[in-house]
Structure 1
Amino acid sequence: MSYKTILVHVDESTRASERIKIASAIAMTENAHLIGTAMTGASRYLVQTMMLADTNPNLRTHLDLLRARAERGLDDFENCVRRLGLPSFEKRLVDDEAGAGVCLQARYADLVVIGQNDPGEVSPVVMPDFPQYVVLNSGRPVLLVPYAGRFDNIGNHVLIAWDASMAATRAVSGAIPLLRRAQVVEVVVFNPQLQPQAHGAMPGSDLALYLARHGIKIEVSQQQTDLEIGDALLSQAADMDIDLIIMGGYGHARFREILLGSATRAVLETMTVPVLMSH
């Protein structure tokens, strides 16, 4: 298994270059094709209606401004990947809201790279629930890059949050190309006695055997904690000098009302290292 197509969300935010750099590094290592996609923020249904009617000059002017903004982000993307020497890439401008646009294109990618929501940088294109929406609706592993910090190398020292759930299973499976290149892979199982039917007599041992067949060695630890799992996970990552967390993303959405699990919400809000999530 390897990543052959990687999709990265592009915009004019101050952190766009960081996630482009990370996505490019993974694409280079995996010999993958990188797609930089920028959304105008205009609903594709509105744009289709405008194309049919074409009677509102104010809407047309506004759409042109949104497209120009997206094009500037794509120009920055192209300049960045050319400097890095990435041989296979393309850029896409899409008339759509960011979440819906990324999720639709994610169907044809192996990995999606997006940014954590920055509460200090309001975007006219990206809604505040963008990261969680993509995690829950893309159907792909999503690599989230924090809005603060530099990450020159990720995936050397990896922490897997394992609870034997379907979401965690999808996250681990989707991260196998990264895990194969890791120097150290740590697995933490919090409070395994609460789910004995899922973990068996030796929590984490089945995961160790599964990953060993992929050539990946892991170290498993079982920990008791009274903390919220998200807080315990982030604390563990800081103590172990982790540069990538892999975990399931839990929640459900009705229209744009998203209800997240507590651990997922805590990590999305306060992550300090990149996190790969799958739902």
Structure 2
Amino acid sequence: MTYATVMVNLALDQPNEARLEAAGQIAEKFDAGVVGIAASQFSPPLYFTSGEQAQNLIDQGQAALKKRISELEAQFRGSVKNRAKFIEWRSAIDFPARFILQQARCADLIVSGGHSDALSDPFAMASPKELVMQAGRPLLVVPDTANWLDLRSVLVAWKDTTEARRAIADSLPLLRKAKYVTVAEIVEAGDSRPAAVLRVRDVAAWLARHGVTATELVPEKHGAATDQLDKIAADIGAGVIVAGAYGHSRFRELILGGMTQHLITQTTRCVLLSH
């Protein structure tokens, strides 16, 4: 397995440099093509009017969006030029999440920015939680502070679930490029540490059969899972975390679990998520 096509989602109102750099580095490492994608929908103001004045307002708004999308295309092409096997640009005047989810079929991996705790505008940006829960593709969340895709140390946040199994399989190409890989499971209330040790040992053995040497880690101490994961990541100098993405809502599955929400909002390191 490899990454043959990487899709990078550009935002109209957020910095894009970090995610473009990550997409370019992935293209170089895997001799992959890169598809740049951007979309936005005109959002009428609260004082929206009607008639000719309304149509003029819509026309002006859409013209501004087209201009901004054209600027993003130029930024995309300039950033990945001579770095990818091929480059392609896709854009639309549409709701960003809807358009990107439709186009995700062409990619092996989607690169996106992180997500703030503030409410996002569905007219202007595709939230990473929507992408990871609905795209059917792994999502690499790249914080704006990430200057490069640091694969010197990668942390696999293991949990014996379908989502974690998909995430580790989806991340195999990256794990093979990593210098050090650590598989860690945080023991939750009601579970036993010896059982967690056996699970992590199985995962490390599975990785070894795929050419990845991994260190096993199951902390002795109990505590908040997010705090423990952050401490482990800091202790091993992880540049990337691999994890399953979990949702609690059966209605569109957009209400994320606490760990997943934490991972897409943290600003320290890149995170590869699969659902």
Q: How does 1:45-60 map to 2 (within 5 A)?
A: 56-60=55-59
Contact 1:17 1:77 in 2 (8 A): no
How far does residue 272 in structure 1 lie from its aligned partner after superposition?
A: 1.0
- CA displacement, residues 110-153 of structure 1 (integer Å, 9 cap, x when unaligned): 000000024689768435x7011111111111000113x23324
| 1:69 corresponding residue in structure 2 | 68
Opposite residue 72 of structure 1, the aligned amino acid is E
Measure the CA separation in 2 of the matches of 1:181 and 1:14: 29
Give the corresponding residue for 2:132. 135
Q: CA deviation at 1:35?
A: 0.2
Provide the TM-score with structure 2 as the length reference.
0.86
Q: Which residue of 2 aligns with 1:79?
A: 78
Query: Partners of 1:9 and 1:152 in 2: how far apart?
Result: 17
Answering whether residue 216 of structure 2 is matched by residue 220 of structure 1, we say yes
Partner-residue secondary structure (3-state), 1:187: strand
Look up the equivalent residue of 2:5 and give its one-letter code.
T
Question: 2:21·2:147 contact (CA, 8 Å) conserved in 1?
Answer: no
Structure 1 residues 109 and 220, CA, compared in 2 at 3 Å: closer, same or farther? same
Paired residue for 1:260?
256
Gap change, CA 1:80 and 1:22, over 3 Å in 2: same
2:165 aligned counterpart, secondary structure: helix
Moved more, 150-159 or 179-188: 150-159
1:193 Cα shift? 7.9
Q: CA deviation at 1:180?
A: 0.6
Point out where structure 1 has 5 or more consecutive residues left out of the alignment: 44-54
Corresponding residue for residue 269 of structure 2: 273
- TM-superposed CA distance for 1:265, in Å, is 1.4
Q: Deviations over 1:151-174 (max 9, x none)?
A: 324222100000111111111011
Count the aligned residue pairs: 264
C-alpha contact (below 8 Å) 1:136/1:252 kept by paired residues: no
Give the residue type in structure 2 aligned to 1:7: M
Give the corresponding residue for 2:28.
28
In structure 2, the CA distance between the partners of 1:16 and 1:120, relative to structure 1 (3 Å rule), is farther
Out of 226, 238, 250, which is 2:246 matched to?
250
Quick one: structure 1 residues 215 and 109, their matched pair in 2 at CA, closer, same or farther if it must change by over 3 Å? same
> For residues 121-132 of structure 1, what are the structure 2 equivalents within 5 Å?
125-127=123-125, 130-132=127-129
| Displacement after TM superposition at 1:59 (Å) | 2.3
Whether the aligned pair in 2 keeps the contact of 1:192 and 1:222 (CA below 8 Å) is no
Q: Distance in 2 between matches of 1:266 and 1:63?
A: 35
Q: How far apart are the structure 2 equivalents of 1:202 and 1:223?
A: 13
Would the alpha carbon gap of residues 76 and 106 (structure 1) be closer, same or farther in structure 2, given more than 3 Å must change? same
Retained in 2: the 8 A contact 1:190–1:223? yes
Amino acid at match of 2:76: F
TM-score scaled by structure 1? 0.85
> How far apart are 1:85 and its partner, in Å?
3.6
- The aligned residue for residue 237 of structure 1 is 233
- The letter of the residue matching 2:228 is A
- Root-mean-square deviation over aligned CA pairs: 2.7
Q: CA, structure 1 residues 63+114, in 2 after alignment: closer, same or farther (shift >3 Å)?
A: same
Secondary structure at 1:232 match in 2: helix
Counterpart AA for 1:226: H
Corresponding letter in the other structure for 2:176: R
Contact 2:242 2:271 in 1 (8 A): yes
Shift of residue 12 of structure 1? 3.9
Q: What does residue range 112-191 of structure 1 map to in structure 2 within 5 Å?
A: 112-118=110-116, 125-127=123-125, 130-147=127-144, 149-191=145-187
Q: Aligned pair in 2 of structure 1 residues 207, 119: CA closer, same or farther (>3 Å)?
A: closer
Which amino acid letter does the alignment assign opposite residue 180 of structure 1? R
